[in-house]
Amino acid sequence: MGNRDMPEGRPRAEQPAGDGVHGAVSVADEENPFADPGLPPHEHRIQDIDERAAKRSERAVAFLFTVSMLATIGFIVAYLLIPDDKSIFVFPLGHLSAMNFALGLTLGVALFCIGAGAVHWARTLMSDVEIADDRHPIEASPDVRAKVHADFRQGAAESGFGRRKLIRNTLLGAMALVPLTGLMLLGGLGPAPGTKLRHTLWAKGKRLVNMNTGQPLRPEDVAVGSLTFAKPDGLAEHDEDFQNEIAKAALMVIRLQPDDIKDKRELDWSHQGIVAYSKICTHVGCPISLYEQQTHHVLCPCHQSTFDLTDGARVIFGPAGHALPQLRIGVDSEGYLQALGDFEEPVGPAFWERG
Partner 1 sequence: MSTAPNETPRPGAAGRPRGTAPAGERLADWADGRLGLYSLAKANMRKIFPDHWSFMLGEICLYSFLIIILTGVYLTLFFHPSMNEVEYHGGYVPLQGQMMSEAFSSTLHISFDVRGGLLVRQIHHWGAVVFIAGMFVHMMRVFFSGAFRKPRELNWLFGFLLFVLGMFTGFTGYSLPDDLLSGTGVRFMEGAILSVPIVGTYLSFFLFGGEFPGHEFVARFYTIHILLLPGIMLGLVVAHLILVFYHKHTQFAGPGKTETNVVGMPLLPVYMAKAGGFFFLVFGALAALAAVAQINPIWAIGPYRPDQVSTGAQPDWYMGMAEGLIRAMPGWEINFWGHTLVLGVFIPLVVFGLILVAIAVYPFVEAWIAGDRREHHILDRPRNAATRTAFGVAWLTVYFVMLIGGGNDIVATHFHLSINAVTWFVRIAYFVGPVITFLITKRICLGLQRRDRDKVLHGRETGIIKRLPHGEYIEVHEPLSQEQLHTLTSHKQYTPAEIGPTVDENGVERKVPASEKLRVKLSHAYYGEESQIPKPTVDEYKEIASGHGHH
Give me the least distance between CB of 153 and partner 1, in Å please: 25
* Sign of the four-CA dihedral 27, 33, 36, 42: positive
Q: Which stretch, 137-145, 163-171, 174-182, 330-338, contacts partner 1 (CB under 8 A)?
A: 137-145
Q: Which stretch, 52-60, 142-150, 335-343, 344-352, contacts partner 1 (CB under 8 A)?
A: 344-352
User: Pick from 76, 132, 140, 167: which binds partner 1 (CB under 8 A)?
Assistant: 132
Give me the least distance between CB of 241 and partner 1, in Å please: 9
Nearest to 208, CA basis, from 300, 122, 275, 116: 275
Q: Which is nearer to partner 1, 122 or 203 (CB)?
A: 122
**What is the enclosing helix (H) or strand (E) of 89?**
strand 87-90
Which residues, in sequence order, are CB contacts of 249 under 8 Å at separation 6+? Answer: 200, 201, 202, 231, 232, 235
The answer to the question of residue 11 lying near partner 1 (CB under 8 A) is no
Site residues for partner 1, 211-230, by CB under 8 A, read 211, 229
DSSP-derived 3-state class of residue 324: coil
The answer to the question of residue 145 lying near partner 1 (CB under 8 A) is no
Site residues for partner 1, 24-43, by CB under 8 A, read 28-29, 31-40
User: Pick from 283, 296, 297, 328: which binds partner 1 (CB under 8 A)?
Assistant: 283
- One character per residue 59-98, x = contact with partner 1 (rule: CB under 8 A): --------------------x----xx----x--x--xx-
First vs last Cα of the chain: how many Å apart? 80
Give me the least distance between CB of 211 and partner 1, in Å please: 7
**Cβ atoms of residues 329 and 339 within 8 Å:** yes
**Cβ atoms of residues 315 and 283 within 8 Å:** no
352-342-224 Cα angle (round to 5): 110
Q: Which is nearer to partner 1, 122 or 167 (CB)?
A: 122
Q: Say how many CA atoms lie within 13 Å of 328 toward its Cβ.
A: 13
Give me the least distance between CB of 159 and partner 1, in Å please: 28
Site residues for partner 1, 175-204, by CB under 8 A, read 186-187, 189-193, 196-197
Any alpha helices (H) in 82-97, and if so which ranges?
Answer: none
User: Pick from 206, 207, 279, 296: which binds partner 1 (CB under 8 A)?
Assistant: 279
**Cβ atoms of residues 328 and 335 within 8 Å:** no
Q: Which stretch, 149-157, 219-227, 257-265, 314-322, contacts partner 1 (CB under 8 A)?
A: 314-322
Burial letters 94-129, b for 16+ CB under 10 A, else e? eeeebbebbbeebbebbeebbebbeebbeebbebbb
Give me the least distance between CB of 331 and partner 1, in Å please: 24
User: Pick from 110, 254, 309, 313: which binds partner 1 (CB under 8 A)?
Assistant: 110
